[in-house]
Amino acid sequence: APTAQALRKIYADAAPPFRLPSTEASICLQVWADHRAKWQMSKSKALSILLDGIVLAPLLTSIAYFARWDEAGLDSGPDSMTQSLRFPNMVTQMGEAACEVLGGIITELNIGTMSSSGTVALSSKGSLALQRCYSYFVPTSYSPLLSRFKHVLIEDPSWGFVDMGQDTGEEEEHVNRVLNVVGSGAQHKTLFK
């Protein structure tokens, strides 16, 4: 089914964190625009919400991550996401339709309002909501594993684990380690004050 293929594409080709604008963000926004109306018609409200989450988790993770951290996980501080977010070149790099979709998501979730220049004026609740997205960092750091779930389950259960890690000097394939470490640290700061 086209919707299932589109949703699988998110974890295969739009693993967070990614910057906005980007190809990865375009994938999420395109899936939302093209397929959300279909799953919103589901008789199961729970299924509809879960399918929204497949698209929103990587998108919101990425927005929250890059509002405060850089690619290497360096923290710019908690005050970096209090009043506004800027997504320069959104229209030129992603097109007006994608910007409208993102603006609609931001408005629907009561995060704030997005201008045509790509600036999001955060509401006080929106700023707090994006900070709550830190709890998405650890689960979404396993996007590489989720994208190969069928392969791991049926063909090669050791994919991404065997001969990986600090002892071998190999890069871990099953997890985005920087996002995982930042997410773990953010949760510890919040939960264990």
At 121-163, the pLDDT tens digits run 999 899 889 988 999 999 999 998 888 888 888 998 888 776 6
pLDDT tens, position by position, 101-124: 999 999 999 999 999 889 999 998
Residue 30 — φ and ψ, nearest 5°? -70, -40
Where are the alpha helices (H) located in the chain, listed in sequence order? Answer: 2-13, 23-40, 45-68, 90-94, 96-108, 124-132, 137-141, 143-147, 149-150, 177-191
Q: Please, what's the largest Cα pairwise distance for the chain?
A: 50
Q: What is the pTM of this model?
A: 0.88
- Owner of token pair 């397929």: 35
Which comes out higher in pLDDT, residue 88 or 179?
179
Q: Which of 89-103, 147-161, 167-181 has the lowest mean pLDDT?
A: 167-181
Q: Would you list the DSSP string of 99-117?
A: HHHHHHHHHHTTSEEE-TT
Structure tokens at 186: 């953010």
Which comes out higher in pLDDT, residue 12 or 161?
12
What pLDDT was estimated at residue 36?
Answer: 98
